[in-house]
Every structure is written in C-alpha cells, then in structure tokens.
Amino acid sequence: MPLVRAYALRRARLEPYDGGAPIIPPDPDTGQGGGGGTPGTGTGLLVGAAIDPPNLTAYQEANSTMGPWTCRRGFDSGGFASGGFTASRSGVDVGRWASVWSGKPDPIQMASGALDSAARTFLAGIPDSHTAFVSIWHEADVKIKQGSAPYTASQYKAAWRKFFTLVREAQATKPNLYGCLIFGSYSYISPKPGATLDELWPGNGADGRPYVDCVAYDGYSFTGSETGEYMWGTGRQFADDHGVAWGIAEAGLTTDVTSGAAGAAWMQTQADYAATHGAGPHSSAAFLCWFGSTVGGVLQTPQYYAETRTRSGLIAQQYYTPYTSYRL
C-alpha cells in the first residue's frame, strides 16, 4: 500500500508536514506552476540558503516563511565526515532539497591520494538520485589573498583535480552529482595576482573535459544598488568561456545596507540576473543561495529585514524549480 504524505495548504502552497520543499499548485488560469524553466532540460534555477543555526529544524522553519526553497547550502569545517555524506551537514537534505556542500579536507593529503578512500566513502553515501553540488575549500582565492590558506594556488589546483577525478568516478552511477568550484566575487571585482580566476582554474583532463562542472561565487552588497552584471557578470562569463555552468553559493547584505526596501530590491535584481543569464550547458545560473548567517559580520539574509523575508518568498515562488527533476 503506497504511503500517503500529509500536506497543509498555506499561502497558496502545499507544505508537507514531514519537511521538504512545498508544492506550488498549478495556476488555475495558465495551468503552470511557480516558474523556473523546464525541469530536466538544463534550465531552471534552484533557490535556497544557508541558515544559522545550521540544523534541520531551523531550515524547515525558515523555509516555511521565506521559501519554498529547493536547495540548501551546507558547510563542514573539517574534511569528509567519518560517517560519510549522511553524517555531514548536508546529510539531512536527502528527500528534501538539493545540496550545495563544501568541506575542508587537508589539501596536501587530498592531492597526494591519502584521502581517496575517505572521499570515495563520502561520495558513495550520496544517494544516486540526489542532486548535490560538492566543493572543497570554498573561497580559496580569499584565503590565498589573505595569507590564511594552508596551501598555494598550485597545491589547491592539484587537490581539486584529485577530488574532481573521484567525483567524475562517482558520476558513473550518480548523474545528479556535480563538482563545483566556489570563489569569492572579489576574485574578479578586485583581483590580486596569485589568486585570480585564471590562476586558480584547474584546467582540463586528458579527455579535454574541464575538471569542473560548475563555478560558483560568493558576493555581498555594500550599497543595496549593485547590478547583477556588476556582482556576477565577469564570473558568469568566465564559466561560459570554459564551457561550464555557474552559480551563486552565497549572496547577502553587509551592515552598510541599512534599508530593508533597498535590500529586497537588491535581492530581486540578483535573482532576476541569475535566472536569465546562463553559462555552459545551463540557461540560467545553476543555483542561488542566500547567506542567512552573521559569519564575517554580515547581515543574515534574508532574515534580517521584514522586506527581505517577504521578498525571499516571492523570489522562491517566482523561480521555483523542483529539485527532483532538475538537471544541470
């Protein structure tokens, strides 16, 4: 006998009692859902966030008022969780949202092959049907520029090539698994020699294919008026020039943005840009994740202002793409 899933109808969406992304019923006039492109054809924008505290309950509560989100940003401060993917910060995503995960395995050991077994176990724990973007050492450019990275640019690239080789191996049975570099947007807005996009690009394998499926960026507003082209244009073009998709792994407001209305307008501008500017195989950005944390001294986005909370829900509905049928 099939299981019956219980939903509650709230704000024109069906929200499952057991968590996960709500369903937006078809519009009675058009027969269409919440937008976001045609699922499964390399189109559509996954929209989500990172939330503090980084647990399931907090994310479900935020999702119920600022979603419906279809992906979730997860961080592990160390390397590959000893219990595999299910024990990582992104393990709770399965059956609920797509994952945008990053961790910090030792790059020297990663490049040497010493972490091959741990990485294979971690990747094997991702269900074959689960959509997951995985990265190691996000914002490597920032860490190299600041001198806080335990690696050089060449060591980072060697670690990434080894990691992505294992991702490519796992993709044989996991078609929804993607290797995603994540850099800060200031790698191109304010580049510094030694940590530019060109200097951190891992190149192509012997088969001519890039050691990357997607390049994503973290970016923050200081004025509330930055355009999408200013924030992401150069990074998107870099991805397109290399034949890969692009995404936004963190987008948020700094404390310099003191107006909720300005913050909401900025969010809409970034979402519209992401949804209408593609790269590589994808006709839009692959995903857009707000940064709902105060780490780094920024404002929790979208939670901080009432206007940004409301705007988040509207954007999530406007560009809703079911993660279960999403393909890069």
Comparing C-alpha atoms, which of 302, 306, 260, 316 is closest to residue 52? 302
At 265 the pLDDT is: 98
The torsion angles phi and psi of 213, rounded to 5 degrees, stand at: -100, -30
Instruction: Kindly list the domain boundaries of the chain, sorted by start residue.
Output: 7-325
- Rounded Cα gap, residues 287 and 171, in angstroms: 19
- Rounded Cα gap, residues 326 and 46, in angstroms: 8
At 15 the pLDDT is: 53
At 149 the pLDDT is: 84
Rg (CA), the chain: 19
Residue 30: is it exposed, middle or buried by C-beta count within 10 angstroms (0-12/13-18/19+)?
exposed
| Architecture of the domain delimited by 7-325 | Alpha-Beta Barrel (3.20)
- Categorize the per-residue pLDDT at 150 as very low, low, confident or very high, splitting at 50, 70 and 90: confident
How much is the average pLDDT of 83-96? 96
- Categorize the per-residue pLDDT at 148 as very low, low, confident or very high, splitting at 50, 70 and 90: confident
Ordered alpha helix ranges (H), 18-175: 56-66, 107-112, 116-124, 140-146, 153-170
- Categorize the per-residue pLDDT at 6 as very low, low, confident or very high, splitting at 50, 70 and 90: low
Residue 189: its H or E element: helix 186-189
At 90 the pLDDT is: 97
User: Are 274 and 227 contacting, i.e. CB atoms less than 8 angstroms apart?
Assistant: no
Cα-Cα end-to-end distance for the chain: 34
What mean pLDDT is reported for the chain? 89
Tokens of 225: 């008026």
- Rounded Cα gap, residues 19 and 60, in angstroms: 6
Lowest pLDDT segment from 1-5, 130-134, 217-221, 271-275? 1-5
At 171 the pLDDT is: 97
At 36 the pLDDT is: 32
Beta strand pairing call for 245-253 and 13-16: unpaired
Q: What is the pTM of this model?
A: 0.88
User: Are 133 and 180 contacting, i.e. CB atoms less than 8 angstroms apart?
Assistant: yes
Lowest pLDDT segment from 31-45, 141-155, 178-192? 31-45
Tokens of 275: 């949804």
Percent of the chain whose predicted confidence (pLDDT) is above 70: 87
Tokens of 155: 């060591």
- Categorize the per-residue pLDDT at 117 as very low, low, confident or very high, splitting at 50, 70 and 90: very high
